[in-house]
A = this chain, B = another copy of it.
Amino acid sequence: MKEYVPRSGELFVVSGPSGAGKGTICRRLMEDPEEDQLMLSVSATTRAPREGEVDGVNYYFLSREEFEKRIENEEFLEYAEVYGNLYGTPLQPVLDTLAQGKDVLLEIDTQGAAKVKGTYPEGIFLFILPPSMRVLRQRLEGRGTDTQEVIERRLANTKAEVEEIGMYDYYVLNDDLEEAVATAKSILRAERTRVEKYALDLIRKFEEEE
């Protein structure tokens, strides 16, 4: 298809509660050899690089001063402060990739996704849905690492996050991982064949080859 229709890329935003499996699903998408036109968005952060982390690959490592200057200049799709460090999604690399006709995959928590919805509503928003409160509770209690209080707080957070699902375009039920990955791949594939985005290009291309 990429030889057939000139198109700008899509921003696919993958979000959902922590523990829903969004990281695993994104990794699987990036490993798919058919997804060679899909680029993973790299975040910026003010935290120090850890051993082996490469600037521009794992993160863009910025000083706080530089990060704050970029906030000022509206150079982030979204950003947030977590435990004293700033994290954000740089806008320009995303726009550059989309302009090349490639797609961008952005894995982000639900608060970040809500901000991206505000700054780039044209994105395609996928919500990774854990199987159910019951299964989540079993998993957390089965681990035996958290106190009952922590488990209750986490379940309440997850419930609140799921109640924001209305903002998203698609849900991906992560009950069975292989099924979830297949669903996510189908969504990417289907979105690339939406007529409203490509109809004029299609008609031109179809006719010009006569």
Contacts and interface: CB of A to CB of B under 8 A. Distances in A.
Interface of A: 1, 4, 127, 129-130, 132-135, 137, 155, 159, 162-163, 165-166, 168-173, 175, 182-183, 185-187, 189-191, 193-196, 198-199, 202-203, 205-207, 209-210
A194 to B, nearest CB: 6
Contact of A189 (B4, B134, B165, B183): B183
A67 to B, nearest CB: 33
A4 B133 CA distance: 13
B187 A171 contact: no
B183 A171 contact: no
By DSSP majority rule, is chain A's interface helix, strand, loop, or mixed?
A: helix
Copies in the complex: 2
A189 B173 CA distance: 12
27 contacts: A1-B173, A127-B195, A129-B202, A132-B206, A132-B210, A133-B207, A133-B210, A134-B210, A137-B210, A155-B210, A162-B202, A162-B203, A166-B196, A166-B199, A168-B195, A169-B194, A169-B195, A169-B196, A170-B193, A170-B194, A171-B193, A171-B195, A171-B198, A173-B193, A183-B190, A186-B189, A187-B189
Contacts of A165: 195, 199, 202-203
A95 B194 CA distance: 26
A173 B1 CA distance: 8
